Amino acid sequence: MPQHTAPPMEGLMDLLHEVRQFSRDLQQSARRAAPAHGPKAYREALHSLIDRRMQNDDAHGRIVCYASAAELGVPVELPAEQCRQAMTGGLGFGLRVLFWAAHRRMIASRPVGNWAGLTTQSVRPATPNTPATAAKRGAIGAETP
């Protein structure tokens, strides 16, 4: 009698919950590490915690940490061997999907340049999309025919 195999997407929600919990834990630890030192100290503490976990965790933990960093907007580099394992599916379907989603998010938040790397420009808009900047853009646009 054939064995029932779990659908490939079954573990993805569990991984998503794991990443979200990991992100909450990182944020809480960073807030404790820099309680009243401002946003710069918080970002440095968060980056330091992520770096430490990326160095010390196993392959599964590194992919979860990488996805959490992408979710929190903290730029990190994943070691080439971890990328290779994740891309080829050596860590399983769920971690491969998580890696690619995180990697696309991480790449989208980085500056891009031409093929030679001579110029860079931000993927994100130069000004935040707030009511004040939208009104200013509207005022500028209204002046031009």
Residue type, 123: V
Per-residue H/E/C for 101-139: HHHHHHHHCCCEECCCCCCEECCCCCCCCCHHHHHHHHH
Q: What is the model's pTM? A: 0.68
In a domain, 124, yes or no: no
Q: What is the pLDDT along the chain (145 residues), one digit of tens a residue?
A: 455 555 666 788 899 999 999 999 999 999 998 877 888 899 999 999 999 998 888 888 989 999 999 999 998 877 777 777 777 767 788 888 888 899 899 888 776 554 443 333 444 433 444 444 444 444 444 444 3
What residues are paired with 120 via a beta bridge?
Answer: 113
In a domain, 131, yes or no: no
* Domain span at 41: 12-111
In a domain, 82, yes or no: yes
Element (H, E) at 47: helix 38-56
**Number of domains the chain contains:** 1
8 Å CB contact between 78 and 29:
no
In a domain, 134, yes or no: no
In a domain, 18, yes or no: yes
